[in-house]
Structure 1
Amino acid sequence: MMHRLQRRRYFTAVCGSLSCIVWTSTRSCFSGRPAYMQLHAAYFMMHNISQQGGCAGRSEFLPGEETSFSRESDEVQLRAELECLTKRLDIAHEVIRELLGLVDKKRYSSELAALDKNFVGGVGLVVTSTAAELEKALQTPGSRIILAENHHYVLGTRGPIVISHTNISIWGNKSTIEGSIQLSHHATLDACDVTFKGLKDTSDEYDEDGVDWKSTSMLPCIEATQRSRVYLHNCSLIGGRDGVYLGIESKAQLKNVYISDCARGIYEGVGCRVYLSECMMAGNFFHLVLLGRGRKATAAALSATNSSDETNEEVGISVRFLDTSDVGKKRTRADIALDHNPITDTYAEFIHRGKKIELPQKLSTCSLSDPVY
């Protein structure tokens, strides 16, 4: 039996960066016609396609077609990169979980539990109606806490509630938290519409003009150390040793915050920074103790703001100082102190109502018992 060899011929047409190979055959759909007629027909088809904007012998785009093609190419590339990155993250998660499986779980059970909660994002949204529920939520990494409306929470512990290595947010609903919160090791607290109140350890009902008055609490309302962050909006801090204490390169950003009846409204430690906007401080021994970088420039801007009722936009700080708080007691000795000896708890370099002042030794201390602060 004889087999007839079927000859094929082809030519290439270009469409942008793509090549279209067109084959012709001696046994094509144009039956009964010689090869040169088939090539002519193929050429006619390609020419017809080029007239309609398809593959042609020239690399040209219709108006707007090049931009559309470029966008589609970019989108395809981004989708591919995203898919690749997602796969790599999934692999990394599996590696971490396998490594955790090799750890002695009995010995490090609490650490592993905290790590697992932090790894998966904590418990998410938490609605609290009791102080016990609030304490548990504050100590759970990644919690987003919603307080009951106009509720008063008294934290059971006499010491501070410690938040470490995680982010906590509180939606206050105009409620009050009585107690102390301590942030450390890169922790973050973001709160709005809540009043933080210091624990009442010492009564101050019989003081006169703050001369013999001691802080109602030996703990700050909020303490942030070791590169932690505090963000407060529409909040109040009342009756703590400090409204906000910042130490070891920590920062705070306060907007529309009221701080009153504290020994020190805000304590800005060395290497720390506080940013204020539309805030008010009333009835504190010292509204601000500034030890951070550029403290003299900050103090000058704050003094100018209070004397002229204008905000210094360059520094970005706005706060009003009042000597008397809402409870009617005039306790303020100075608006700002720029120096502090933590061993003797003695303050110096005072500014009040935009002017430098001197205070007698009796009024230059808050008589705090903890020398660390």
Structure 2
Amino acid sequence: MKLFEPITIRGVELKNRIAMSPMCMHSATSDARVTRFHHVHYGARALGGAGLVFLETTAVQPNGIIGAGDLGIWEDGQVEGLAAVVSTIHEMGAKAGAQIGHAGRQYPLQEHLSVAPSPVPFTPDARVPQELTGEGIQEIITAFGQAARRVKQAGFDVLEVHTAHGYLLNEFLSPKANFRTDEYGGSHENRYRIVREVIDAVRVEWDGPLFVRISSTDYLEGGNTPDDFLIYGRWMKEQGVDLIDCSSGGIAMVPVRSFPGYQVPAAEKLRRKLGVLTGAVGMIQTGHQAEEILGNDRADIVLIGREILKDPFWPRTAADELRTPIAVPPQYTRYGSAWQRSLPPVPAAELPEA
């Protein structure tokens, strides 16, 4: 089964094609550092069999957190806690992924100003963000580069830049949020400029697998569509991005008709048109569904969100559904079960008495 085949990306081997998608847990300390919750939460999904476990978005600046209790990576003092969580994930058998980002105009707290490419609020009743100056843009680019340095120090295996879901870099990419008339607004090339400069800054510090999460469509007339990301995606590939993680939406509060696999066509389109690795995400619920996506070459990995929150052992559940034996933690096996077939037999002398 393709779902359980390993994949090697820039020298890092994932034992299967299953990744835990980044999802905010709002459980950090008041200074955006890890707690015991993060060890248990992410460690459980690593123990549960995912090949790659992404932590939630870590903010590159204090005004970049998505919500109260989010993790940060804007200062060196935050590295020690992140490194400890990485160690837990590794001990439980998975590779660890970091996603770095900035909330932009969706920064929800009052401690700092919110910033954006243009002074346009997220919703009519939201506060108006401060339009970034050229100097402010350069500070953010530097912050992403320094965050990448800390990701490397913490021992992560994969780094993803968050350019989706209506947050800062997505705001620059979208013509529905970026109304600038300088070199960071207007054309595709100008709207992409900050993303280009962020990726360049990240690549100075990070030589491992680099993913970018995108919102492949804005769900708004005149907004970005997958065709726009054929343009952006080509530039990402040229800059050394290894995989494009294809999500959607978030630039505005609009209804979205979601259903199992509704975002997969974008991953398939970019993969086939650009020859770049892609990740599929969004209501991937069953092993059969995940295997169809991968087996038909529509994406290279699947990122599981809500289902892996409900079931930390979703990979084992999927393997059971697909009738595929996989190795599982020996603490959770019982001699003679179907799952034991994938493990070395236990000598009779070592079996407990009945």
Q: Give the TM-score taking structure 2 as reference length.
A: 0.28
Determine which structure has greater relative contact order: mean sequence separation of CA pairs < 8 Å that are 6+ residues apart, divided by chain length: 2
Name the one with the larger strand percent: 1
- The structure with the larger Rg is 1
Name the one with the larger helix percent: 2
